[in-house]
């Protein structure tokens, strides 16, 4: 179990985007049922493995930084390697802080085995420092391999981190838990949103990236060159496993021709967010099953099986007949059901526009933020025209801009491993889950009913793993709710 599957379980399963069925191919290696039911405990195997792999990665990074000055190599390349390592260290601490809050910080080797937890402020300050070093020192060239560290990837994560912290402070996240270790009181909201905006503008104006004209190209395995046009950072498929069994069996269309197992399905809320008359994303990310009798379609000169159309009744999908259809595998002579050979996006230019809209709305008002959202929505149009763009803009307008932004982030980024953290940072985690539909349109009512019952804001952070807590008592106290 690693980042590929683990972050999907933490960030998507058991949110208002993904419901699951623990009785359909349950994953005993990750305690997936705990995420499905909203009952994650500190002995969860997936949480343990995320912690272990994050700290194994940090040890390797710190060992490299400790040894690199003793290595004879061209100085310019040595400095670039240092910046790449700092990017990865900042990336690790950013994720650890978002998942767990305060955790031990190590910047030298060997790591102390009995070190206690640093505060969330110290963890995120370390992440900001490392990412800023990478942003300042990696060369400002166009991204040709988004699977590697780059100036623009570092900038993207910095903008996301500043926005996460600013919104968490602004919305008083965790205040009611009275847990000082994970406090956001130290955050300067205006300053952090200003920094997020400056970096976002730099990426949009100077990275060479562009919004791919057709949203579908981003999620089909035969269009890697087009995916690179919009991607700041991705998971690359390995030559042997591609992006395989763990993650993609949850995200591919359900059925013999789609490759997906169907353990995870989109919520009715995802389906309802799209204006399907104008927004082409709606019919792409949620669809019917991909059985033996489904049709074929050509996308970017490659053939794919097209999942069946949804059966809708009053805007709701029939139980069992819908699935996540956002990612598609090629139609080939020898089918690879468990694999996806495209790039899996971890950071796209579309998100940079969304982060810019958030910062602009904070600084200049909601209507100014809505203007930035137009770029994302225009790309999403099924039939592009100014009239249709205005129609979609009006259709998606909400009196509450935070809710409008959260809806738009879900439309654009759904199933890309970040939904829980979005709900948490705007202090809408519990309220959103409690409002989930548990009647018609829910594929697994048992899971939905228990999720609604179990989720509270005391679970905004994951628990420190029990095995590590036993091995190192200085990691106590654990997070609230565990």
CATH of the domain at 129: 1.25.40.390
CA–CA dist 298, 408 (Å, integer): 28
CA distances from 244 to 2, 349, 364 (A): 12, 25, 44
- The structural domain count of the chain equals 2
248 contacts 338 by C-beta, under 8 angstroms: yes
pLDDT at position 67: 96
Report the DSSP pairing between strands 302-306 and 295-299: antiparallel
The answer to whether the beta carbons of residues 57 and 92 sit under 8 Å apart is: yes
Question: What is the rounded distance in angstroms from the CA atom of residue 73 to the CA atom of residue 307?
Answer: 52
Q: What is the pLDDT along the chain (482 residues), one digit of tens a residue?
A: 345 668 888 999 999 999 887 666 556 667 888 998 999 999 999 999 999 999 999 999 999 999 999 999 999 999 999 999 999 999 999 999 999 999 999 999 999 999 999 999 999 999 999 999 999 999 998 889 999 999 999 999 999 999 999 999 999 999 999 999 999 999 999 999 999 999 999 999 999 999 999 999 999 999 999 999 999 999 887 766 555 546 777 889 988 888 888 888 898 899 899 999 999 999 999 999 998 889 999 999 999 999 998 877 777 776 667 889 999 999 876 655 557 888 999 999 999 999 999 999 999 999 999 999 999 999 999 999 999 999 999 999 999 999 999 999 999 999 999 999 999 999 999 999 999 988 766 667 778 888 999 999 999 999 999 999 999 999 999 999 99
Contact 115, 104 (CB under 8 A): yes
The C-alpha atoms of residue 100 and residue 57 are separated, in whole angstroms, by: 17
pTM, whole model, 2 decimals?
Answer: 0.95
With respect to residue 416, please indicate whether it lies within any of the assigned structural domains: no
Q: If residue 265 lies in a helix (H) or strand (E), which one and from where to where?
A: strand 264-266
**pLDDT for the residue numbered 245:** 47
CA distance 160 to 356: 10
For 152-185, letters b (16+ CB in 10 Å) and e give bbbbbbbbbbbbbbbbbbbbebbeebebebbbbe
**DSSP character string of 201-232:** HHHHHHS-----SSGGGGGBTT-HHHHHTTEE
Bridge partners of 287? 323
Specify whether the CB–CB gap between 157 and 347 falls below 8 A.
yes
Q: How many helices (H) and strands (E) does the chain have?
A: 19, 10
What are residue 230's phi and psi, to 5 degrees? -120, -10
Say whether both 130 and 24 belong to one domain. yes
Q: Is the domain of 119 the same as that of 13?
A: yes
**DSSP run (H or E) holding 375:** helix 366-380
Token pair in block for residue 414:
């759904």
Q: Which of 318, 342, 366 is the last residue of a domain?
A: 342
Residue from 109, 107, 111 nearest 88 by CA = 107
Rounded Cα distance, 414 and 403, in Å? 15
Out of 342, 366, 397, a domain closes at: 342
- Pick the closest to residue 21 from 481, 401, 445, 335 (CA basis): 445
Beta pairing class for 264-266 and 18-20:
antiparallel
304 token code pair: 């794919």
Do 128 and 246 fall within a single domain? no
Both structure tokens of 44: 């969860």
Decide if 394 is inside a domain: no
Please indicate, yes or no, if residue 376 is contained in any of the structural domains. Answer: no
Residue 51 inside a domain? The answer is yes
Q: Is residue 74, in this structure, part of any structural domain at all?
A: yes
Kindly give, in sequence order, each residue whose CB lies less than 8 Å from that of residue 34, ignoring residues fewer than 6 positions away: 40, 41, 44
Task: Quote the pLDDT of residue 142.
Answer: 85
Domain boundary, last residue among 286, 317, 342: 342
- Which residue segment(s) compose the domain that 269 sits in? 237-342
- Residue 253 shares a structural domain with residue 135: no
Q: How far is CA 302 from the centre of its chain?
A: 27
> Quick check: is 294 in a domain?
yes
Q: Which of 474, 473, 468 is nearest to 56 (CA)?
A: 468
- The dihedral over CA atoms of 434, 438, 443, 445, expressed in degrees to the nearest 10, equals 100
Query: Do residues 247 and 126 both lie within one domain?
Result: no
404, part of any domain: no
Answer yes or no: is 151 within a domain: no
């Amino acid at each position: 179990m690693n980042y590929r599957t683990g972050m999907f379980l933490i960030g998507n399963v058991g949110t208002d985007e993904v419901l699951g069925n623990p009785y359909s191919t349950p994953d005993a290696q990750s305690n997936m049922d705990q995420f499905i039911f909203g009952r994650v405990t500190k002995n969860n195997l997936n949480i343990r493995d995320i912690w272990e792999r994050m700290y194994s990665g940090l040890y390797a990074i710190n060992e490299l930084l400790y040894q690199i000055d003793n290595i004879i190599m061209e100085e310019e390349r040595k400095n670039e390697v240092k910046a790449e390592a700092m990017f990865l260290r900042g990336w690790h601490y950013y994720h650890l802080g978002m998942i767990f809050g305060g955790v031990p910080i190590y910047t030298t080797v060997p790591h102390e085995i009995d070190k206690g937890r640093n505060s969330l402020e110290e963890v995120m300050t370390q992440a900001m420092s490392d990412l800023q070093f990478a942003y300042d020192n990696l060369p400002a060239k166009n991204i040709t391999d988004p699977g590697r560290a780059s100036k623009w990837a570092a900038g993207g994560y910095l903008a996301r981190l500043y926005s996460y912290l600013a919104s968490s402070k602004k919305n008083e996240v965790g205040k009611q838990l009275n847990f000082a270790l994970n406090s956001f009181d130290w955050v300067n909201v205006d300053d952090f949103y200003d920094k997020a905006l400056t970096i976002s503008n730099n990426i949009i104006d100077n990275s060479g990236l562009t919004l791919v004209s057709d949203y579908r190209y981003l999620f089909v395995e035969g269009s890697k060159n087009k995916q690179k046009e919009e991607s700041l950072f991705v998971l690359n498929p390995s030559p042997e496993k591609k992006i395989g069994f763990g993650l993609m069996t949850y995200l591919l269309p359900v059925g013999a021709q789609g490759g997906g197992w169907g353990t995870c399905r989109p919520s009715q809320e995802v389906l309802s967010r799209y204006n399907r008359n104008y927004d082409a994303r709606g019919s792409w990310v949620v669809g019917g099953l991909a059985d033996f009798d489904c049709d074929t379609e050509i996308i970017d000169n490659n053939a794919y099986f097209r999942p069946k159309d949804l059966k809708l009744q009053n805007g709701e999908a029939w139980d069992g007949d819908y699935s996540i259809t956002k990612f598609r595998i090629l139609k080939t002579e020898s089918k690879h059901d468990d694999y996806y050979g495209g790039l899996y996006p971890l950071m796209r230019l579309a998100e940079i526009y969304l982060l810019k809209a958030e910062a602009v709305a904070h600084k200049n008002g909601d209507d100014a933020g809505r203007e930035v959202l137009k770029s994302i929505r225009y790309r999403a149009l099924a039939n592009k025209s100014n009239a249709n763009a205005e129609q979609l803009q009006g259709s998606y307008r909400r009196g509450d801009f935070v809710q409008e932004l959260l809806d738009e982030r879900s439309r654009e980024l759904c199933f890309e491993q970040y939904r829980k953290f979005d709900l948490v940072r705007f202090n809408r985690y519990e309220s959103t889950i409690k409002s989930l539909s548990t009647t018609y349109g829910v594929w697994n009512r048992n899971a939905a009913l228990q999720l609604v019952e179990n989720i509270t804001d005391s679970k905004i952070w994951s628990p420190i793993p029990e095995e590590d807590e036993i091995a190192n008592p200085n990691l106590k106290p654990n997070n609230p709710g565990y």
